Structure 1
C-alpha cells in the first residue's frame, strides 16, 4: 500500500502539523504502509536532521521549493508557495502511488491535487487543516463577496467535490464544508487530530526538565503552547496575565512562534508584565516534557473561526493530563470536546477578564484542577492517542476498494 502525501511542512520541522503526521506515518509504516512525502525545503535542514529521531525507512521525503526563514512577509510567503507548487506538480506527475493525499497548507493544495489526479486518473483525498479563504475573510484579510473570494471558493468547491474523501477535523468543520462547498455526506470523513506522543501516565510539573530549568516547579504555571498565528488571539492572553500580575502564585509560559507573537510580546512589554516567559517551539522529542511544564493549558481561537480550523494543541494537552481554559467560540470543536469530556472551562474569545477569572478559579481549587486533568488524560487514552488514530486510519483506508468513485 503506497500513498503520496503533499504538505507544506514535514519532519524534522517543529511545527505542530509536522509533528502530528511524522508520528502517525511512523506508526502506520510499522504496520506496512509506504508513504512518499512531498514537502517544502526547510532552512538549516542538516542541523535539524542531526538532532531528530529517524523516520521509518518506508517513509521517503522529497524536498521541493525554496527554504525561507520566517513567514511574516506576505510577498515572501507567496514566492515560497509558488516555488513549492511548481516543484510539487512536477514530482506528483512522475511519482508512483496508489493514492494521492494532500492537506490545505499551502492553501492552494486541493486545487493542485485535483488537477494532477485528473491527469493521472488517480484517486485522491483532501485533509482539511484550515478552510481557505473563509478564515482570511473572518479575520478581515479578504472581503466577503470579492472577486478573489468568490473565485477561490469556486475552485475549492470543484476540487473538494472531485475528491474521494474530504477529511475534516471537527463537527463544526464538517458543517461548514457541507454548507459552503456542497461536499457530500458520502465523501466526508470525521478524523479528529491526535496527540503527537503517547505516554502511560501524565508527567507531573515537578518532573519536567523545562520547569526545572525555568525555575517554575513551585508556581501555578499557565501554559500556551503552539502556533501564534492569524487564528489565535494571543493579545487577550497577555491582558489576562496583566490582570493576574498581583497573584505571585501564577506564572504564564508562552511557547511557540507565529505572525502574532511579536505584537503580543510588545504588548507584554508595554504593559510591564513580569509574570510571563516566552519560549520558541520545542522539538518533538521534548514535547511531552514541555507540555508537562504547566498546571493549566490555554487554547485560543478567534471569534468567527469555528469550522475554519481545529487547534491541534488540544490533543497534546489531553495527553499531558492538564485542565484546559479554552477561549474559543461556543460552537467550535474544541468547546464541544472540553464540555463533553469535562476537562476544562470554556470562555468567550477576546475576553481577558473571563480568562483571568477561569485561571484564578482553577488556581484556588486544586481538586477541581486535578479532576479536570484526569478527565483530559482519560479522553486521550480512549479517543485521541496515536494508537487510536492509527486504528482509525486502517478502518477508513485499509482497503482502497471501499472508496467511492462516483465523480
Structure 2
C-alpha cells in the first residue's frame, strides 16, 4: 500500500463541506490500507467547538504549525487567520500556507509514494509539484473548481497580466501532474480543450455519506425551534459567496410574498453573508430567515426541515464549478431547483436523476415560477426527492467513489492492493 501525502487547504476540524469531504476521503483511503499524512490549515472557515474537541490541535512549531490526529492520521496545520470579508488578504494566507506547508512536507513528513492536492487554490498544484520533487513521487491534482476561469467570470480577476500568469500556472500544473482527477465529465471536456492529454485525466465525482444524510421527518427539532412546521420551506445551505445568485433569490422571495406560508431559509457563511443580511433587512423580507453555519450533526434535520432546496448559481458558474451540495440534497430525499447553464454537469445530474427543476441562471421569473410550482405540486415534488435519493445511493455513495481513488493511486504508484 502507498504512503499518501494530502496537501489540502481545507480539512477537519474545520466543518466546511470541502474539509469534511477531504477528511472522509482520507479516512476511507486509510481503511483501504494506505498510510496518510495531511498538511492543511488551522480551522478558519467554519469552526465548531465540538469538532475541535474531537480533534484537538497542539503546537508543533510555535503557533505557526500545529498538529492533530484524525483516526490515526497525522495532520499538520499551518496557522492562517479566520476567514472574513478580507478577500484581498486571502492571498497572504495562501502564501503563508504554502511556505510553512513546504517546510513541513520537506522536513517533517517521511517519504511519500504519491501526493494528493485538491484545488482551490490553484497554487496548491505548484505546492504539490515542489513536494513531488522532494519525495520523488507523482502527484494527483484534484480539480474541484476550474481556476482561474471562475475568478475571471466573476470579475474578481480583471488584470490581463495576472490572468495570463495564472493561466500559465494552470498549464504548468496540468503538465506536471501524474494524473488530473476532475469531478465531472464536463470538467474533463474543458481540460481536453485546454490541451490536457486524455490519458492524464480521470473523472471521479465527489461523494456523500448516505448513511449520515438520510430522509427524516419533515417536523423535527430544528423545524420546531424555528417555528417552521406549518411553512413550506425553501432551503439554501452552504457558502454565501460570489458564485451564487442571491440577488435573484431575494427578488424571487419578494415576488412570492403572496404565499404567506412559503418561507425561505438561508444557512451558511461566506464573503456575502453580511451583505445578504443587510439586504433582507432593507427590503423587509419577513418570509426569509438567515442563519450562520450550524453544527454538522444538525445537517440531517436541517435538510429534513426543507420542502424544497435551492442551488442558485450565477450565469456561467456551472461550467467551472460543481456544487456538491446537490448530493446532500438528494441524499436527504428533497427536491431541488437548480439555476444552471444548459449542457453542464449540474443540469445533467438533476435531469438524469429526475430530482427537480433546472432554470436559467439569474432568471427571476423562472426561479419564482419553479418554486411556486413545487409549492402547488407537493406530491410530485416529494416524488422527485425520492428519485434523487435512489440515484445518489446508486452513483455517489462513498464506498464506490473511494474505490475509484484507490484504484487510481495503486495504478499510479505501482503498489499492489
Flag whether TM exceeds 0.5 (same fold).
yes
* Structure-2 residue corresponding to 1:141: 156
Whether 1:185 aligns to 2:198 is: yes
Q: In terms of mean alpha carbon deviation, does 46-55 or 103-112 score higher?
A: 46-55
Q: Quote the Cα distance in structure 2 between the aligned partners of 1:222 and 1:258.
A: 20
Distance 1:286 1:309 in 2: 26
- Structure-2 separation of matches of 1:237 and 1:217: 22
Q: Structure 1 residue aligned with 2:258, among 246, 264, 274?
A: 246
Matched, 1:107 2:122: yes
User: Which sits farther off after the overlay, 191-200 or 127-136?
Assistant: 191-200
**1:116 alignment partner, SS class:** helix
Structure 1 residues 77 and 201, CA gap change in structure 2 (3 angstroms): closer
SS in 2 for 1:130: coil
Contact 1:100 1:122 in 2 (8 A): yes
Take 1:72 and 1:46, find their aligned partners in 2: how far apart are those partners? 20
Q: Are the counterparts in 2 of residues 198 and 386 from structure 1 also a CA contact under 8 Å?
A: no
Structure 1 residues 197, 18: CA separation in 2 closer, same or farther (over 3 Å shift)?
farther
Counterpart in the other structure of 2:346: 334
Aligned residue for 2:8?
7
8 Å Cα contact 1:175-1:307 kept in structure 2 = no
C-alpha distance 347-248 of structure 1, shift in aligned 2 (>3 A)? same
Q: Secondary structure at the match of 2:83?
A: coil
SS in 1 for 2:239: coil
Q: 1:391 is matched with which residue: 389, 403, 409?
A: 403
- Offset of 1:64 from its aligned partner? 1.0
SS for the counterpart of 2:180 is: strand
| Native 8 Å contact 2:331 2:388 kept in 1 | yes
1:38-87 per-residue CA deviation (whole Å, 9 max, x = no partner) reads 11122597945455479753322101133x22232133212211111101
In structure 2, what is the equivalent of residue 228 of structure 1? 240
Indicate if the aligned counterparts of 2:213 and 2:332 stay in contact, CA closer than 8 A.
no
| Structure 1 residues 355 and 217, CA gap change in structure 2 (3 angstroms) | same
Instruction: Specify which of 80, 89, 94 is matched with residue 93 of structure 2.
Output: 80
User: Aligned pair 1:206/2:207, yes or no?
Assistant: no
Residue aligning to 2:61: none
- Residue in structure 2 matched with residue 37 of structure 1 by the alignment: 38
SS of the equivalent of 1:62 reads strand
Q: Distance in 2 between matches of 1:262 and 1:110?
A: 32
Q: Tell me the equivalent position of 2:356.
A: 344
**Equivalent residue number for residue 66 of structure 2:** none
Hey, what's the Cα distance between the residues in 1 that align with 2:380 and 2:262? 17
> How far apart, CA to CA, are the structure 1 residues paired with 2:213 and 2:86?
42
**CA separation of 1:160 and 1:372: change in aligned 2, threshold 3 A:** same
Residue pair 1:220, 1:251 contacting (<8 A) in 2 also: yes
1:151-184 Cα offsets, whole Å, 9 max, x none, are 111121111111111111112211221212x111
Distance 2:139 2:213 in 1: 36
Residue of 287, 296, 318 corresponding to 2:299: 287
Q: Distance in 1 between matches of 2:234 and 2:157?
A: 34
Relative to structure 1, the CA distance from residue 200 to residue 121 in structure 2 (aligned partners, 3 Å threshold; closer, same or farther) is closer
1:371 aligned onto 2:386: no
Matches within 5 A, 1:16-55: 16-42=17-43, 47-52=49-54
Between the aligned partners of 2:173 and 2:230, the Cα distance in structure 1 is: 52
Aligned-partner SS, 1:186: helix
Cα separation, partners in 2 of 1:237 and 1:402, compared to 1, 3 Å? farther
| Aligned CA-pair RMSD | 2.1
2:104 aligned residue: 91
Alpha-carbon distance in structure 1 between the residues aligned to 2:309 and 2:180: 30
Partner of 2:165: 151
Local SS of the residue matching 1:206: coil
TM-score in terms of structure 1 length: 0.92
Cross-structure match for 1:260? 272
What is the CA-CA distance between 1:215 and the residue it aligns to? 1.4
How far apart in 1 are the matches of 2:26 and 2:39? 13
Number of equivalences: 399
Match of 2:181 in 1: 167
Contact 2:245 2:313 survives alignment (8 Å):
yes
Contact 1:202/1:320 (CA < 8 Å) preserved in 2?
yes
- Paired with 2:47 and 2:332, the residues of 1 have a C-alpha distance of 29
For 1:270 and 1:244, locate their aligned partners in 2 and report how far apart those are by CA, in whole Å. Answer: 17
Structure 2 residue runs without a partner (length 5+): 57-68
